[in-house]
Each structure stands twice: as C-alpha cells, then as structure tokens.
C-alpha cells in the first residue's frame, strides 16, 4: 500500500487524498504531503504558503477564488469537522458551475486538492474546527473574487443542521451569483 490513496472526483483535477495512518497505543503518525507521491497521484504543485484558521460551528467561509493569480489548494482539518466545497469556474470546462463537496475531519484525516480556477469554501459542522491549507501562489488582496454560497444555479447541498445558524462575514453576505460573474 502506498503512503496515500488519491481518489478522483467527478470534476477533473479535484482529488480527495487519504493518507496512510500508522497507529498504536501511543497515538498515530502520518505523512500529510510528499511531493513525489503527490506527483504520482496527479497533483503537480509547488506549494509556497501554509495557512490556518479556526472557526466555530455554523461559520461558512466562502466561496472564494482569485482572478489574475489563481491558487491551487490542498486543504485539511486538524481539529473538528467541516463540509468543504470546490466549484468549477474554469472557462470552457465541461463541468463549469458544478461542485464537489466532501467532509473533512480530524477523524477521517482526508485532504482535498482543489486546482486553480475553482471557488472554494467550507461550513463548520463541529463545535469548532481548525482548518489548514497549502497554496501554490501567494495571497494577493486585490485579486479576490467571491461567489454566493447559496446560489440556486449551483445548488450546493450544504449539510446545515437543524440547530445551526449559518454565520457569514459581512463581505460574504453580498457575494454575486454565478450568472453575475
């Protein structure tokens, strides 16, 4: 068995990564990234920056993308659980406007690779979650683009729980719909 299991999704280039976890009574060990293994799995990126956020239950961050300096992302959760989404915004793509959603948690240890040209966002399902991700280009604050999380054209099936209030940043409350891009 390899160090990673690379699971292709219905959208070309979007990949779920399952690491091999070695555990015993002391705890566990796993590699979270190894360039040559990822290259074999179809992910050819040079990551230049790592980011981390912590959010409480119901926080929805997204859907964010970049216009002139798009970023590929490798995301994972180190504490808690989120529902993570990638929306295809690549012009001319046969899956333009489609999305892939996956649950990421500290329990399942899955990672999610999102190539350049996608909007990305996540909803926190646990009481809180710590989210970490690698990007292949630096952040350019004037290059941000966003998309409405509840766009009916995309129709993301967010797993909003009965007792959950969706919490958005002020900026994300006003994101445009896909037809307005």
The residues, ordered by sequence, that sit 6+ positions from 161 with a Cβ below 8 Å of its Cβ are 125
The residues, ordered by sequence, that sit 6+ positions from 86 with a Cβ below 8 Å of its Cβ are 11, 14, 99, 100, 112, 114, 118, 119, 120
Task: Check: CB of residue 101 under 8 Å from CB of residue 157.
Answer: yes
The residues, ordered by sequence, that sit 6+ positions from 53 with a Cβ below 8 Å of its Cβ are 61, 130, 131
Other Cβ atoms within 10 Å of 114 Cβ, number:
26
Residue 5 CA to residue 23 CA, distance in Å, equals 17
Cα Rg for the chain, rounded, in angstroms?
16
In 3D, which of 128, 126, 132, 100 has the Cα closest to residue 32?
132
Active site residue ranges: 64, 133
Residue 96 CA to residue 154 CA, distance in Å, equals 10
């Amino acid at each position: 068995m390899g160090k990673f299991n690379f699971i292709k999704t219905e959208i070309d280039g979007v990949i779920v990564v399952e690491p091999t976890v070695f555990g015993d009574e002391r705890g566990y060990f796993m590699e979270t990234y190894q360039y040559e293994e990822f290259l074999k799995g179809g992910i050819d990126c040079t990551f230049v920056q790592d980011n981390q956020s912590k959010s409480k239950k119901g926080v929805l961050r997204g859907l964010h993308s970049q216009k002139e300096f798009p970023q590929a992302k490798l995301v994972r959760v180190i504490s808690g659980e989120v529902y993570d989404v990638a929306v295809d915004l690549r012009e001319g793509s046969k899956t333009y406007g489609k999305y892939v959603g996956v649950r990421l948690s500290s329990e399942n240890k899955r990672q999610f690779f999102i190539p350049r040209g996608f909007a990305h966002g996540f909803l926190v399902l646990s009481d809180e979650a710590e989210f970490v991700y690698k990007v292949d280009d630096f952040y350019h604050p004037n290059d941000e683009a966003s998309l409405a999380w509840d766009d009916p054209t995309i129709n993301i099936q967010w797993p909003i729980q009965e007792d959950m209030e969706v919490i958005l940043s002020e900026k994300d409350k006003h994101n445009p719909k896909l037809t307005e891009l």
